[in-house]
Structure 1
Amino acid sequence: MKTTPLDALHRLLGARMVPFAGYAMPLQYPAGIIAEHTQCRTKAALFDVSHMGQAVLRGEGAALALEALTPADVQSLKPGRQKYALLTVADGGILDDFMVANRGDHLLLVVNAACKDADFAHIAAHLPAGVRLERWDDRALLALQGPAAEAVMIRLGGTAAAALPFLGVGEVTLAGIPAIVSRSGYTGEDGFEISVAADQAEALARAILADADVAPAGLGARDSLRLEAGLCLYGNDIDRTTSPVEAALTWTIGKRRRSEWTFLGAERVRAELESGPRRIRVGLRPEGRAPARAHTPILAGDGTTLGEVTSGGFGPSLNAPVAMGYVPPAFAGEGTELTLLVRGKPLPARVTPTPFVPHRYKR
C-alpha cells in the first residue's frame, strides 16, 4: 500500500489509518468524525489529499488539446484561474472529474487518486505533437478548509493567498515554504488547496496545525462535508455509466462547446440536452434519523424501483440524514415524495435541492 508524505505525522497524531485508492489514509483522528466535521464548519480543518494526482500540460495548443477530452471551455480560462471540469469518453460517460488551472505557460491538473493512472494515460494518448503531459508525483497536496482558513493563511505569511478570489491560483510562500495555492476545496466552505514539494509537506503541515484555529481531519469528515455540500464523489455519484446531463453537471459544459460539439461523448450529451436524460441526480431528505447508504433502492409510491442512492449518510450540520441518487426526470421535482428501502424497511423521503448546507465560498 502506498503512503503520502504525511504518513508518519498522521500516525503520530493518532489517526486511524485505512486503505483508500491504494493508499494508507487517515479516516479520523482521536477527536472523531463529528468533531472534525464541526471544526471545518466553525474554524478550520487540515486534510491530506496528497494521494490525488497532479500533472501539468505544456506546449502550444495545450488548452485546445484538452478540450477534445472535456466539455469545459478551457481556452477561455484566464491565467491565475481554475475551474471544475469532467473528462468524458466516447459514449458520453464520465471518466473522472478534475480541476484545471491556467498557470500562464502551462495548465495544472488535479485528478482523483483512484483514477489518476488511467486519466493521465488517457490524456497522454490523445495529445497532439508539441503538447506533453508531465506528472507531478513528487508533490503533496493539502487542503485547509473552513471560515478561519483565510486568517490562518495570513498568520502563516500568505497574504497573497488571502487575496485570491474564489477559484484563483497563485504562487505563495507559507511559513517560509514555497507553494502553489488555489482558493478551492471539497467541503462547501471557504478554503485553500496547497500544492507543495513532497519533502516540505510535513514541515508545512506542522506549521498549519500549530495555529490554534486548525485541527486535522480525515476521510470521514471529508465525506460528510462534501455530501452536505451536494458535491459528487467519483465512483459513487458519477462514473463511466453517467453523463454530465444525468449527473446534473450541465453547468460544466461551456457555451461555446455547446455549439462546437468537439469533445468525446458529445453526441450523447447533445441528445440528452435536447431531449432530456433517462435519469437525473437529485438530493434526498429521508424522514427520521436513519441514514440511507449507497445502493439503497429508491421506490415510487406504488413500489416501483426508480433507481438507487449513490451517496448517503448523516449530516452533522443538519442533525439529520441526507442522500443523493438517480431517478427518472418525472420524479425529480422538488418535494416529490419517494420511498427508500433501508435494510428492507420503507423510509419516506422527499426530493430536495442541493446543496443541503449552503456553500460559503468567498465570492
Structure 2
Amino acid sequence: MLATDKPSTLKQTPLHALHVARGGKMVPFAGYDMPVQYATGVLKEHLHTRAAAGLFDVSHMGQLTLRAKSGKLEDAALALEKLVPMDILALAPGRQRYAQFTNKAGGILDDLMVANFGDHLFLVVNAACKDEDEAHLRAHLSDTCIIETLPDRALIALQGPKAADVLAKFCPEAPAMKFMDAGPHQMNGIACFVSRSGYTGEDGYEISIPNDQAEALTSALLNHPDVLPIGLGARDSLRLEAGLCLYGHDIDTTTTPIEGGLNWSIQKSRRTGGARAGGFLGSDRILAELDGGAPRKRIGLLPEGRAPVREGVLLFADANSTESIGSVTSGGFGPSLGAPIAMGYLPNAQAADGTTVFAELRGQRMPMKVSPMPFVPHSYKR
C-alpha cells in the first residue's frame, strides 16, 4: 500500500460503489481506494477462491492497445520486441503472453500481459507503473506505432475451479478457451475482452468491460451462489502460494528476469543463437545471465514454526553470521497450506532446495528452508 496516498487524492474504479455497498474495507493501493477484504475475511476469501470462484476488481491496472502505423501487426510486434525479451512476432492471434519491460541495465521496469487481437496488440500493465509504461512506449515506439490507453474500460478477474462453469452462463464459448487464450467476446450481451488467465494459480479469466457496464456485469456474476467478492488481502496470499512475482517487491529495476527466475518466459528465438536474438533493452546482461547464470536467484522459503516472515527481513547463512546474504521480498501466511511462506533472494551457493538459512526476526534467528515453488500447484487449463 502507498502510505503517501490521502483519501482526497485517491482515484476510484468504476466498481467503487459496489465495493462499499457490499461492505468492502477500503484502503489506499497504487493511488486507488480499493477493498482489502469484505466481511467474510481474508482467510475465507482465499479458501473460497481455491474451492469455488472469487471475483476481483483489478480495474486500477492499465489497459493499452498498440497498432503499427503501417497497419501490419508484425510491425507492431517487432517494435514491441525492442522493449521486451519475449517473442511477440510468434504470438498467434487469440493468444496472450507474459512479458517484462526491461531497462538498459537489464532490470525490470514492469511486468505485463500482451495479447494478439488480430490487427493490434492489447497490453495489461501494473497500476503503479501504468503512467511510466505509457511514457516508455511513446518514447521508444511513437515513430512506428499508435499507442492508445483505455481509461474507459474496467477489468475484473474471476478465479477458481468453478470459474468456467459460472462464466458459461454469460459467455457460452468461455469453457472451451485454453490457458492464455484471449480476445473479444460477448459477455451477457456486453462487448468484452476476455482472457483465460489470472494471478492466483487457479484456473480463471480476466474480463475487460466498458466502464458504464462494469457494475451490471459484476453484480450479475456475484449473484451466482459460487462467487464471492475478494479483496487485495486474499489476492496477495493466493499469488504468494502460487509463487508468482509482485512487481515492486519480488522484481523491480534492480532485478533481472534471470535473477527473478523468469527464464521460462524468454523464448528461444530471443536468446543467443535465436532468429531474433537480443535487440531489446538490457539484452547484453540478460543473455549473458541466461548462458552463464545470475549471481543470485529468487527462491521460496518455508519458515519453521507459525510466525510469518515479512518483506524486508534479512537472511543469514547461519545462526551467528553478522553479514546478511539476502532478504525476504514477500511473506505471509499461506491459508491453503496452514503455514507461513515467503520468497526472497539468495546467492546461488545458498539457493538450492532444502538449504537452511536464518531470518532475523525480533532479535532472534529463525530457521527457514529453501523450498521449490509454487507452494500450491497451479490449476491452469492447458
Shorter-normalised TM range:
over 0.9
Q: Secondary structure at the match of 1:8?
A: helix
Paired with 1:188 and 1:9, the residues of 2 have a C-alpha distance of 26
2:280 corresponding residue in structure 1: 263
Q: Show CA shifts across 1:183-222 (max 9, x none).
A: 0000000000000001100001000000000000000000
| Greater alpha carbon shift after TM alignment, 128-137 vs 96-105 | 128-137
Query: Any idea what the Cα deviations from partners look like across 1:62-111, whole Å, max 9, x if unmatched?
Result: 00000000001000000000010110001100000000000000000000
SS of equivalent to 2:369? strand
- SS of the equivalent of 1:151 reads helix
Q: Which amino acid aligns with 2:37?
A: Q
Residue 248 in 1 paired to residue 261 in 2? yes
Contact 1:65 1:128 in 2 (8 A): no
Any conservation in 1 of the 2:179–2:380 contact (CA below 8 Å)?
yes
Q: Which residue of 2 aligns with 1:194?
A: 207
- CA distance, structure 1, for counterparts of residue 340 and residue 213 of structure 2: 39
1:170 is the counterpart of 2:189: no
TM-score by length of 2: 0.93
Deviation at 1:276, TM superposition (A): 2.1
Partner of 1:140: 154
Q: Deviations over 1:9-37 (max 9, x none)?
A: 00000000000000000000000000100
CA contact (8 A) 2:48 2:54 kept: yes
Q: Is the 8 A contact 1:285 1:351 kept in 2?
A: yes
Shift of 1:171: 2.1
Q: Which residue of 2 aligns with 1:337?
A: 356
| Range with greater deviation from structure 2 (336-345 or 178-187) | 336-345
Counterpart among 2, 18, 35 of residue 44 in structure 2: 35
Matched position secondary structure for 1:362: coil
- Please point out which of 328, 337, 348 is paired with 2:347: 328
Deviation (angstroms), 1:270? 1.8
The equivalent residue for 1:230 is 243
1:292 is matched with 309
Q: 1:347 is matched with which residue?
A: 366
Three-state SS of the structure 1 residue aligned to 2:325 is strand
169-178 or 201-210, larger mean C-alpha shift: 169-178
- Which deviates more from structure 2 when the two are superposed, residues 304-313 or residues 4-13? 304-313
Write the distance in 2 (CA, Å) between the matches of 1:294 and 1:130. Answer: 41
Task: Give the structure 1 partner of residue 111 of structure 2.
Answer: 97
Q: Which amino acid aligns with 1:319?
A: G
Given that 1:142 and 1:194 are in contact with CA atoms closer than 8 Å, whether structure 2 keeps it comes out as yes
Give the counterpart letter for 1:288 in structure 2. Answer: G
- Once the two structures are overlaid, the 10-residue window that deviates more, 6-15 or 297-306, is 297-306
Letter in 2 for 1:338: V
Q: Secondary structure at the match of 2:155?
A: strand
The residue that corresponds to 2:125 in the other structure is: 111
Confirm or deny: 8 A CA contact 2:45 2:54 kept in the other structure: yes
Counterparts of 2:363 and 2:78 in 1: how far apart (Å)? Answer: 50
State the identity %. 58
Contact 1:175–1:207, Cα closer than 8 Å, also in 2: no
How many residue pairs match? The answer is: 362
Instruction: Using the TM superposition, give the Cα deviation of residue 129 of structure 1 relative to its aligned residue in structure 2, in angstroms.
Output: 2.8
What SS class does the counterpart of residue 256 from structure 1 fall into? helix
Cα deviation, 1:304-329, whole Å, max 9, x if unaligned, reads 41110000000000000000000000
CA RMSD of aligned residues (A): 0.9
8 Å contact kept, 2:299–2:345? yes
**Aligned match of 2:11:** 2
**How far, CA to CA, are the matches of 1:132 and 1:173 in structure 2?**
26
Instruction: Determine helix, strand or coil for the equivalent of 2:99.
Output: strand
What is the Cα deviation at residue 128 of structure 1? Answer: 5.2
1:107-154 CA deviation, whole Å, 9 max, x = no partner?
000000000000111011111534111001110000000000000001
1:25 aligns with 2:58: no
Structure 1 spans left out of the alignment, 5+ residues: none
Any idea what the Cα deviations from partners look like across 1:278-333, whole Å, max 9, x if unmatched? Answer: 21100000011100000011110252411100000000000000000000001110
Task: Report the secondary structure of 1:126's partner residue.
Answer: helix
Say whether residues 1:212 and 2:225 are aligned partners: yes
- Consecutive unaligned residues in structure 2, runs of 5 or more: 1-9
Letter of the aligned partner of 1:34 in structure 2?
L
Provide the rounded CA distance (Å) in 2 between the counterparts of 1:300 and 1:190.
38
